[in-house]
């Protein structure tokens, strides 16, 4: 039979073990236990009382083990929940370190289904030009003060009647609207309609850009309409069931089907020093994963200076140099001179290719086209005149899907090119050319003022300064006519300049059209331009 004192020690030892595991006040209980005589039964008790070992920094004596160990166990029991909390706090930090690309943002485009260009645009624009000439002859509209920018809906201003008069003339405010000096809801709606006709966000709020547009004189608006109409003289564009229009000053692309805009996209067009030309042609092919052959002007003006500063520029941008016998090592070329323009520089296809993943091929003498771009952030800007002359299209794959309607898909007759098929065709990284079964007419136009069949006039900024008449050559050459500045007001579009709009346009048409063509031709070699791999040379 086991002596009673050994049974008591065993019970107390077992109890201490449970308390230690639960993190209870083991230290006080351990001090209450008298030290029993040394023996084989009492030796195992201390290890059972504290399951967590003492740190090896200080090896305590056997008689003091019961005191430090409970303290360590309490610290350990406190530190464990903290570690658990820190481990729970790590998952929320993971999203902060995520490097996923931000969603693409595109500038807002109009949802109006009326196309910018139809077979009636020329005549409709001439009619509206006559109406604006009458506005100018009658004195136009008053200039609005800048303090209208701070006006909020419902507030009053002495300039509101002038604003109402202007918007009534232009058809944005109904003629039977009650007079008021308050910015009331009907007037807010009229402001939004005015903004929509001028390519501005139709918020109905009088911002700086809206005030600037309202303060453009009626004579200037008439000149925009007359000049745009003159640029349409002689057009032979084949309007049909399906066609594409790029209005350069608007910087957008319209896919027109059955007389209505099926899709409208933001675009990036040529900068003023690298103007996008006006063209009329047909879209014949779609190129997946295109390469880009760098125009000689870009080689001379951009790449050679870059190579002088950074010899690794070509390799970093995946541009290879091709000579008559094959690829040329960039280190073998003397970049101090201009001999590099005698070689062909070609950028490999890929995500960083200047043409992006898609090119829309359209034969024309300027060698311009529409394409994708890796610089998609530009599509979110309100002003988008940054390219070398070609047209970069936002959401270009959607436009490609519309163009490929009716063309057999990748799996043969009876299949189509949907979003999945287009992405799959691009994903393999191989160059692929798809010929449209029926070419789609496309035109690039320069309309700073145009009218739609409903009689509304639309205006855009004259970014290339094509509407401004050139100075008369005789005074500029001889200086014989002193009041040359006074002669120009006579030539400015006062009413007399409007009535003969058609004759004047006919006279000005060759000069306007050819001036635009010559201007663009001079800058066009520096565009995204001529690619020897495309069918262009054989055309």
Closest CA to 131 of 381, 489, 511, 457: 457
Spatial separation of the C-alpha atoms in residues 21 and 486, rounded to whole Å:
103
SS (H, E, C) 193-234: HHHHHCCCCCCCCCCHHHHHHHCCCHHHHHHHHHHHHHHHCC
Spatial separation of the C-alpha atoms in residues 371 and 518, rounded to whole Å:
24
Closest CA to 315 of 290, 347, 344: 347
> Looking at residue 302, what DSSP letter applies?
I
Spatial separation of the C-alpha atoms in residues 439 and 441, rounded to whole Å:
7
Spatial separation of the C-alpha atoms in residues 282 and 441, rounded to whole Å:
4
Whether the Cβ atoms of residue 421 and residue 160 lie closer than 8 Å to each other: no
Contacts of 243 by beta carbon, 8 Å cutoff, 6+ apart: 237, 256, 440, 441, 442, 443
- Between CA 205 and CA 207, with CA 117 as vertex, the angle to 5 degrees is 10
Neighbour tally for 500: CB within 10 Å = 12
Both ends of the chain: CA-CA distance in Å?
115
Specify whether the backbone of 128 is left (phi greater than 0), alpha (psi in -120 to 50) or beta.
alpha
Q: Which of 166, 198, 371, 458 is catalytic?
A: 371
Spatial separation of the C-alpha atoms in residues 422 and 153, rounded to whole Å:
48
Query: Can you list the pairs that 403-412 forms with residues at least 24 positions away whose Cβ atoms lie under 8 Å?
Result: 403/244, 403/255, 403/283, 403/286, 403/360, 403/436, 403/440, 404/286, 404/434, 404/436, 406/437, 406/438, 407/434, 407/435, 407/436, 407/437, 408/437
Tokens 């393999």 identify what position? 428
Helix or strand holding residue 495 (H, E): helix 495-498
Active site residue 371: yes
Per DSSP bridges, beta strands 344-347 and 279-288 are unpaired
| Burial tier of 122 (Cβ tally within 10 Å: 0-12, 13-18, 19+) | buried
Q: Which of 198, 388, 390, 458 is catalytic?
A: 390
Closest CA to 253 of 425, 377, 372: 372
Catalytic residue numbers, as ranges: 371, 390
């Amino acid at each position: 039979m086991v002596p009673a004192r050994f049974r008591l020690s065993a019970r107390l030892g077992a109890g201490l073990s449970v308390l230690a595991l639960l993190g209870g006040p083991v230290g006080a209980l351990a001090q209450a236990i008298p030290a029993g005589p040394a023996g084989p039964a009492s030796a195992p008790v201390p290890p059972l009382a504290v399951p967590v070992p003492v740190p090896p920094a200080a090896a305590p004596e056997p008689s003091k083990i019961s005191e430090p160990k409970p303290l360590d166990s309490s610290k350990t029991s406190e530190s464990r929940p903290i570690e658990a909390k820190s481990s729970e706090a790590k998952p929320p930090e993971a999203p902060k370190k995520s490097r996923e690309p931000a969603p693409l943002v595109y500038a807002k485009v109009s949802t109006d289904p009326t196309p910018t260009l139809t077979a009636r645009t020329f005549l409709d624009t001439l009619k509206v030009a006559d109406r604006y000439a009458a506005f100018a002859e009658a004195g136009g509209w008053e200039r609005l003060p800048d303090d209208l920018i701070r006006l909020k809906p419902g507030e009053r201003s002495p300039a509101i009647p002038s604003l109402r008069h202007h918007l009534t003339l232009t058809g944005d405010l109904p003629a039977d609207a009650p007079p008021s000096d308050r910015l009331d809801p009907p007037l807010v709606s009229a402001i939004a309609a005015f903004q929509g006709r001028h390519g501005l966000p139709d918020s109905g709020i009088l911002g700086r850009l809206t005030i600037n547009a309202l303060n453009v004189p009626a004579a200037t608006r008439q000149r925009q309409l007359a000049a745009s109409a003159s640029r349409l003289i002689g057009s032979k564009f084949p309007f049909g069931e399906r066609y594409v229009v790029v209005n350069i000053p608007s910087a957008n692309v319209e896919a027109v089907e059955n007389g209505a805009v099926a899709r409208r996209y933001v675009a990036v067009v040529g900068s003023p020093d690298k103007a996008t030309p006006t063209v009329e042609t047909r879209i014949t092919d779609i190129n997946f994963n295109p390469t880009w052959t760098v125009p000689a002007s870009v080689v001379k003006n951009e790449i050679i200076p870059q190579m002088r500063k950074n010899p690794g520029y070509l390799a970093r941008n995946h541009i290879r140099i091709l000579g008559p016998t094959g690829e040329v090592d960039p280190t073998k070329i003397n970049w101090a001179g201009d001999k590099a323009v005698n070689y062909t520089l070609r950028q490999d296809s890929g995500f960083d290719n200047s043409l992006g993943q898609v090119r829309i091929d359209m034969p024309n003498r300027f060698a311009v086209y529409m394409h994708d771009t890796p610089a998609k952030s530009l599509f979110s800007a309100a002003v988008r005149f940054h390219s070398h002359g070609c047209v970069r299209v936002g959401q270009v794959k959607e436009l490609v899907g519309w163009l490929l309607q009716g063309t057999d898909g990748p799996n043969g007759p009876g299949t189509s090119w949907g979003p999945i098929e287009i992405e799959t065709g691009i994903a393999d990284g191989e160059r692929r050319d798809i010929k449209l079964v029926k070419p789609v007419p496309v035109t690039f136009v320069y309309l700073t003022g145009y009218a739609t069949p409903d009689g509304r006039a639309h205006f855009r900024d004259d970014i290339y300064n094509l509407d401004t008449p050139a100075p008369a050559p005789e005074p500029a050459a001889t200086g014989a006519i002193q009041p040359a500045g006074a002669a120009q007001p006579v030539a400015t579009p006062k009413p007399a300049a409007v009535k003969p709009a058609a004759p004047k346009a006919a006279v000005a048409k060759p000069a306007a059209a050819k001036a635009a063509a010559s201007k663009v031709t001079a800058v066009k070699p520096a565009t995204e331009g001529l690619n020897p791999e495309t069918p262009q040379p054989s055309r």
